[in-house]
Amino acid sequence: MGRIPPRSVLAALLVLAVAPPFVAQASGSVVGSFTMFHRIVRYHLDLSVVGSDGEHRVSVRSLRPHLSPEARNIVLPADGYAVGADQVDVVAAGLPEFARLLCDLHPGALTARARLVQDPFDTGATRVREKELPCPSASR
């Protein structure tokens, strides 16, 4: 029977097996980091409408009946701060549709605004994307 290697050798082998993915992730390298997503960000969706009496915030949760089950899983957590990767791109691409939906749901609105705030857990790297649309009822 073989001998069991010394603890120092076992510890070194354990470090060699476990450490590289963490080092790769910490250094920003995708190669060897063994992650499904190359970025994880925090995101928040702000919705509002402007009427003749001023600006009013609209809760993302109020859109629930108008969203598909798949969209609910992505959009509703963004009423607070949600964490995601590809979801952020989906929400960003949908900003014009959110603004149009707000116009439809608030007939007296002059404009509707959908704003996506995201950051990679670093408020110094915050990115804001916004879509503001005039509501068709405003031109009547």
Dihedral angle over CA of 26, 28, 32, 33, nearest 10: 60
Distance, CA of 95 to chain centre = 12
Answer whether 0.75 is exceeded by the pTM.
no
pLDDT in tens, the chain (140 residues): 678 889 998 898 888 888 776 776 666 655 554 555 556 788 999 999 999 999 999 999 999 999 999 889 889 988 888 888 778 888 999 999 999 999 999 999 999 999 999 987 776 788 899 999 999 865 54
Give the other-Cβ count within 10 Å of 62's Cβ.
Answer: 12
Please list the residues that pair with 105 across neighbouring strands.
none
Please list the residues that pair with 130 across neighbouring strands.
115
Distance, CA of 52 to chain centre = 32
